[in-house]
Structure formats: C-alpha cells, structure tokens
Amino acid sequence: MRVELRDPLERLFADDAVGRRPRRALELDVARGGTVAAHLLCSGLRRGERVALSALVNGRPARRARWFRLLAVPVEENTGIRNFTESARPGERNPHVVRRAPFRTFDAMEPIGADSRAESPVEAFRLELPVPRDARPGALRCAIEVRAGGTCEPLALVARVHRATIPPAGADSFPYTNWFSYDNIAARHGLRKWSEPHWRMLRRYAELMRRGRQNTFWIPLQEVFERRAGRLVLDRARLRRIVATFTAAGLHFIEGGHVGTRIGGEWKAVGFDLVMKGPRGTSAEGNAVLAGMLGQLMAEIERCGWRRRWLQHVADEPVKENATDYRILVGMVRKYMPGIPVLDALMDTELAGSADIWCPQVHEYQHSRAAFERQRAVGDRIWYYTCCSPGGPWLNRLLDQELLRPVLLAWGGALFGLDGFLHWGLNHYRADQDPFRKSVVGHGGVNSLPAGDTHIVYPGKDGPWSSLRLEAHREGFEDLELLRQLQARNPRRARAVLAMAVRGFDKYVKDVGRFRAARRALLESL
C-alpha cells in the first residue's frame, strides 16, 4: 500500500496514482468556526481488506474527526463553451475544462467510520476536523495513520488556526439557496411522501443544506396547495410543518415557489399560465384563482409572523417575448401579497421596476453590470446564479471544472458586493438518472444538462451525502463572510486581497497554491 496527502481543493480523478515521491505533509490555514480537511489517496489495496484510519490532534485522539470515502462519478461529455454540453454545437470545443471527457472524478462523500473495507485497489478518503469558534489561535497538528495489509503509513497535517471567526449560517449570513425536489427526497430513499419517515429524511436534508451554509429554502406552491371541489386550498398544517422543519435545522429565509409557468412550456411563449394547471395568469379567471391562492397564503404568513422571512417567486427567467405578461403578473402578485419582496431570475434589464430582487446569471450580470447597478441604486437587490450556463471560462460548479470554481463563486459575490446566490439543482435527478452512474442528462432537443448541474448532493444508502463541490462552495461562503468583515474594516485591504484570487467571474486564479496564499492574506488581515 502507498498513501499520499492531497489538497482538498485539488480535483481527484479515479485513475490518479500515488506519485513517486508521495506527499506526506500538508499545511493549511483556517479560521475559527471553519473546517480543516485533507484528502488521502491510497493505492495498492486488495479488495475487501481492512483499512484503518486514525488521527491524533496535538497528541490526543481527534474525537471530532469525520471520515468519508470519496466515490468517483462519470463525466460523459464536457460542458460547452457557452452552456449545456459540447455535443449541442458540434465542432465547438471548450478549452476551459480540467480534462477531456469521458472520465471519472471523485465527488460523492460517503460517511464512514475509522475502519472500512477497500472496495477497489485505489481508494480516496477525506478527513475533516471542525474548528470551534472559541478555539485558541495557533497550530493544530494532526498525525494521521493509514493501516492496511500489515503496513502503516504516517502522514502529517498542520492547520494554522487564525483569530478570524466565521459567523454561523442563519438569518444574518449571506442569503444562499439551492432548490430541491421534495419528490426525490421521498422516492430516492424508498419513502412515501409526507409519511413520518419522509419528514425525518427532509430534516436530514435540511441539516446538510445548513452544513453547506444554505440559509434559504423554497416551498413550491404545488407542495402546499391541493384542489378540493374545484378550488385550490392551502394545507396550513403541512406548510407550518415544512417551515418548522427547516427553521429547526437553522435555515431562515422562505421562498414561495413560482406562481406562473410558460404557456405550453415554450421558452418564447407570450405569457404564463398559473401553476397546478391553472388558467392564463393575467386573465380574469387567472386573477380570481390568484386572489384565492395568494389570499390564503398571505393570511398564513401574517398569522405565523413570516413577513420578514418570505420572498416570493412569480415566474422563472422571463424574456422579451413574455416581458409584458410578466410585468402584469408581478403587479397582480403584489396586489395580493403586499410588502412581500419579489425574487426572480431576470436577465433583461428592460424589466426595471418589476422585481425587488434581480437574480441574473454571472456572465449576464458582468456583461450588463452598469444596468443592474442602476437598479440597485434605486433600492433593488442583486443576487446571482449559475446553472447549465455559463460554460467556458466562467465560474460555475460543474464536474469538469476546477474545485476552486465553487469557492471563487462566493469570492465573486464579495468582489461585486452582491446580495445572494441561487442554484436550481440540489437533488433534481431525472427519472432515468442514477447520479452515481450518470451525470449528463438530456434537456430537450440537442441540449443536455452538463455534468453535475442537476445536483450537488447524492442519495446515500441511509440519507443524503455531501459532495466535494458542496464543501468547496461552503468554504467559499465562509470566506465571503470574512471578506465582508474586512470590507467593512479596511476596504482598501479587502480589494487587494480579492485581487489576489478573483478579478471577475471569468478572471480568477486556477492554481490552488495561489488561492491558498490569498486566503492566508485574508485571515492575516483580520
């Protein structure tokens, strides 16, 4: 057996091998309230043999240590230069990927104990050491041992714990949401939807979201309204329990799901039907349905004291062909939900005066920054998001990109002073998709969603499993909180630190060592 340490922000591939001169020591910087992590690459194992992992911190057993087996998942196609995958535009080649597809890369994190059995000749493990917020600054020295086949390999991890402290995720942290599928939480774990086991599993997903610093959760209207005698009726008990479940897990902001959906599902449709097979939203009949639905919802928001927590979606990604209908629909929603901020994915700056919270894709924001900032100047907020777009050099969190990109997505938010982040894909696996075996899925016509777009967590054997991309994104949002502290204390120094790592959503460092230097500068500056 041969073992070496790898930086947890370096991408690991299934066919990686331990080098001729294995890395036996790793030094990292961490803030109080953060997590020290290291990856262990092991080769020369025999299937089924026992692998024993141990860690001593400053000479004592690391009782808080968490161990994970890393599982490799496929990347069948590369992300396109603009969006989707390369196959959507034959002849186009994206030079900004970490590797040409097909390949397998480690991403899923299976929680394990200190003892496990080798499943293949090459295994990768992850060690995590949480650092308490009241930890004493200084060196945290971790002696790691890997035992298998009668051999023992020693490794050394040193973490420099800085005085800077990461605040907890919650009401006061940077707004961050991943949309998730209630149906998949039930189906992928063999549970009946809304049964008690499903509620318990929902809580476990909420806890994993909170671990990743998500503090905002969505409630599609289809989950809390049902049709009774031809009328849509709010299930108040279910709504209250959903909110209570996520609140207990530490999430704060509530997103009401979209009111409208494109007519016929056509991208350039002229207008929006109401969800749940409702009529045209801006028709007289649609107005009556909206008045009934949103009247019930608003009354419950007031009864439960959620007014300051609630954000409301109207329709996703309106374009010029349906901009007029969108404006009218927003006005109708405001009529029945007065004072509730409207949040939507908007790229068309001609929609000024409609939503309160704009959420453009990163490249759209950067290309039209002046126009978006004019909206902020009159009181609007600007979130940002990624999905199957953008590809190429832009920051995203896809499987054929550097693991630094999810980290630097958050640094970009600090660079531009943005107000929140959204992604659609926590666990939106398609019906024919086992995310451990299939990463790229069709999206109509020639388009396919790129590897990792549909999800950033995995349906594990006994609950949700995190991913290296989720953990990298978490680290980025932890850094963002520290960057905002530094921006408040010393704006000039904050600009200098940011410039060490990111100058735009398409201009950033790809070398992990250079990024580590930027993070060290951030921590020392605080």
pLDDT one-digit tens code per residue, 390-433:
999 999 999 999 999 999 999 999 999 999 999 999 999 999 99
Total Cβ atoms within 10 A of residue 495: 12
Q: Tell how strand 357-358 and strand 381-382 pair up.
A: parallel
- Tell me the C-alpha distance between 23 and 25, whole Å: 6
If 0-12 CB within 10 Å is exposed, 13-18 middle and 19+ buried, where does residue 211 land? middle
- Tell me the C-alpha distance between 196 and 214, whole Å: 24
20: pLDDT strictly greater than 90: no
Confidence of residue 28 (pLDDT cuts 50, 70, 90): very high
> What's the whole-number mean pLDDT along residues 486-498?
98
Residue 315 · residue 272 · CB < 8 Å: yes
Share the mean pLDDT of the chain: 97
Residue 392: closest CA among 75, 97, 81: 81
- Tell me the C-alpha distance between 205 and 222, whole Å: 20
pTM over 0.95: yes
pLDDT one-digit tens code per residue, 67-97:
999 999 999 999 999 999 999 999 899 999 9
Residue 53 · residue 67 · CB < 8 Å: yes
Residue 281 · residue 327 · CB < 8 Å: no
- The domain locations on the chain are 234-246+253-338
Enter the tokens of residue 524. 């020392």
Helical axes 491-501 vs 468-489, angle rounded to 10°:
150
pLDDT value of position 50: 95
pLDDT value of position 511: 98
pLDDT value of position 272: 98
Enter the tokens of residue 336. 């029945």
Helix (H) / strand (E) containing 498: helix 491-501
Confidence of residue 230 (pLDDT cuts 50, 70, 90): confident
C-alpha distances in Å from residue 101, one per residue of 8, 117, 453: 22, 30, 16
pLDDT one-digit tens code per residue, 145-176:
999 999 999 999 999 999 999 999 999 999 99
- Tell me the C-alpha distance between 67 and 491, whole Å: 39
Enter the tokens of residue 272. 């929006």
- Which DSSP symbol is given to 143? E
